[in-house]
Amino acid sequence: MYPFPQAISPAVRTHVDAQTAFLNDMSKSLFRSFQQMCDLNIQLVQTLMEETTLASKQVLSADRQTEILSAATSRAQPTSDKLRAYQQHITRLAADAQVELSRVTEQHVQNTTRTARALADEVARDATEQTERGLRAQQETVRQFADPFARHGDGAASPSQASAGSQTGQPIPAGAQAGAQAGQRGERSATTH
């Protein structure tokens, strides 16, 4: 009913377990990196909100236009420094994530490769066995149907076929042999009348 065997071979189970462990560790590493990136973004937004609030207070409390301009310029430098620090954190997080992914890959690649090789060997062995079985079955079928007229119902050649075949060296088909026998009987009856 199903094209796949019901029992799972140990090689498949081992390979699936190795792949699952690899993907689990990889997803944990990616999730950790994503979480750190989100934390960094939240921290940046909080810092920018604080800076904006302080700048707004200074602008609203200023009496002269020069104080407004000095308040805005005094907050521009710390904000650009914070953005530069944010960019450095992102770069460091990306490098750390790449190192972590490389470590996880190194840790699992040998086991995964070994199990994949074992699975491929088993599949090749099974395919070879299936091919040999199929080839044997086809050869047997060809042998059974190679000369269907040379065999009688029980599998033995009839005596007239054997004698006719021995004269020419070739087996005579049953239909042709029956016609030849009827023709010989007709010649005998014509000579007797």
CB-CB neighbours of 29 under 10 Å: 19
pLDDT at 148: 62
Q: Which residue has the tokens 């530069």?
A: 84
48 pLDDT band (50/70/90 cuts)?
A: confident
CA atoms within 13 A on the CB side of 53: 6
160 pLDDT band (50/70/90 cuts)?
A: very low
Pairwise CA distance, residues 156 & 28, whole Å: 73
pLDDT at 9: 79
pLDDT at 162: 46
pLDDT at 141: 85
Pairwise CA distance, residues 130 & 136, whole Å: 10
4 pLDDT band (50/70/90 cuts)?
A: low
**193 pLDDT above the threshold of 70:** no
132 pLDDT band (50/70/90 cuts)?
A: very high
Task: Please give the model's pTM, rounded to 2 decimal places.
Answer: 0.55
Average pLDDT over residues 105-117: 89
pLDDT at 11: 83
Task: Look over the chain and give the mean of its residue pLDDT values, rounded to a whole number.
Answer: 77
pLDDT at 131: 92
DSSP letter for each residue of the chain: --SS-SSPPHHHHHHHHHHHHHHHHHHHHHHHHHHHHHHHHHHHHHHHHHHHHHHHHHHHH-SSHHHHHHHHHHHHHHHHHHHHHHHHHHHHHHHHHHHHHHHHHHHHHHHHHHHHHHHHHHHHHHHHHHHHHHHHHHHHHHHHHS-TTSS-TTSSPPHHHHHHHHHHSSPPPHHHHHHHHHHHHHHHHHHH-
Name which residue leads in pLDDT, 133 or 166.
133
pLDDT at 75: 74
pLDDT in tens, 67-87: 777 777 777 777 788 889 999
Note the maximum CA span of the chain. 150
* CA distances from residue 17 to 22, 52, 116, 123, 124 in whole angstroms, order as listed: 9, 52, 11, 18, 21
